[in-house]
Every structure is written in structure tokens, then in C-alpha cells.
């Protein structure tokens, strides 16, 4: 990983208590909907709880996005168990650096992998993957 961007540094200085609490509220709950919307992973659970996971480290002059090759609907009906973050490879990019990081989600029906991307000019690196509770569902995109 290269230099950390301001968004990542501020996030890390502020801690991740809210993210941990949001994540823990979803653990061991049955997933009723699972989809991507606006570079976020959205979980809806059988008790009405809705959780969003996204890279919140945005600084200027970078492009962040998250994607998966896995079939998210295959995990509807499973229970959320755990998550793990692993550093990914740096990829070539035309105007600077392209970092990746893997977010591996474990359910009682197996795992799926999200890949977060950060394309930047070398001054805005790093990731700040955060979970948060959201009030109402957003339509799947």
C-alpha cells in the first residue's frame, strides 16, 4: 500500500466503533436481500435490520469502487457469520496507482468475495471499509 489519503487517515484516527457495532448487529442474522448499490454492499435481514458496507476513505483525486464476480443472490437465506480483509495486488493504471483489497464475507452457506479498488495518483492510497446501519432499503441497481 502506498501513502494513506486524508480520508483514510481521518477515519483511522476516529476509530471504528460505529462500524463494529453495525457489523455485530448483522452477525448470525438471516439475509433476506443482498445486493450492490452505488459502490456499496447492502444486506437486508429478516428482522428488518439493513446494513451497508462501503469504502469510506474517499479523498480528492481518486476513484474508489467495489465489485464482485460472485452471485450475491445465491447467499440470500444464509446467516451472516464473519468477514476478513486481505490486501490485494497493485494493478497498473494509466495515471498512477491502482490498489485492491479483498473483503471476504462468510455465511453458513459459504463465502463470497468483494474487491475494493482505489485508483489514484500516488498520494491518496489506502482503504477504510466500514459497516453502517441504514434506515430504509435502496433499490438494487
- More confident site: 140 or 10: 140
Summary mean pLDDT of the chain: 81
Q: Which residues contact 46 (CB under 8 A, 6 or more apart)?
A: 29, 30, 31, 32
Q: Given the DSSP bridges, would you call strands 62-67 and 110-120 parallel, antiparallel or unpaired? A: antiparallel
Distance (Å, whole) CA 85 – CA 6: 21
The pLDDT tens digits for 30-77 are: 999 999 998 899 999 999 999 999 877 666 667 778 889 999 999 999
From residue 49, alpha-carbon distances to 63, 101, 119 in Å are: 29, 26, 32
Radius of gyration of the CA atoms of the chain, in A: 15
Is the per-residue pLDDT at 117 higher than 50?
yes
- More confident site: 26 or 55: 26
Is the per-residue pLDDT at 10 higher than 50?
no
Burial of 24 (0-12, 13-18, 19+ CB in 10 A): exposed
Query: pLDDT-based confidence at 130, cuts 50/70/90?
Result: confident
Q: What pLDDT is attached to residue 1?
A: 44
Is the per-residue pLDDT at 125 higher than 90?
no
Total-model pTM = 0.80
Amino acid at each position: 500500500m502506498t501513502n494513506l489519503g486524508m480520508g483514510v487517515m481521518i477515519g483511522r484516527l476516529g476509530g471504528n466503533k460505529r462500524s463494529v457495532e453495525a457489523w455485530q448487529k448483522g452477525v448470525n442474522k438471516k439475509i433476506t436481500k443482498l445486493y450492490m448499490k452505488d459502490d456499496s454492499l447492502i444486506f437486508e435481514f429478516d428482522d428488518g435490520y439493513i446494513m451497508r458496507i462501503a469504502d469510506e476513505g474517499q479523498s480528492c483525486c481518486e476513484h474508489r469502487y467495489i465489485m464482485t464476480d460472485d452471485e450475491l443472490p445465491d447467499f440470500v437465506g444464509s446467516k451472516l457469520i464473519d468477514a476478513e480483509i486481505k490486501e490485494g495486488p497493485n494493478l497498473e493504471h494509466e495515471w498512477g496507482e491502482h490498489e485492491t483489497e479483498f473483503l471476504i464475507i462468510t455465511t453458513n452457506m459459504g463465502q463470497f468475495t468483494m474487491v475494493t479498488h482505489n485508483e489514484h495518483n500516488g498520494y491518496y492510497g489506502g482503504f477504510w471499509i466500514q459497516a453502517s446501519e441504514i434506515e430504509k432499503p435502496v433499490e438494487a441497481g
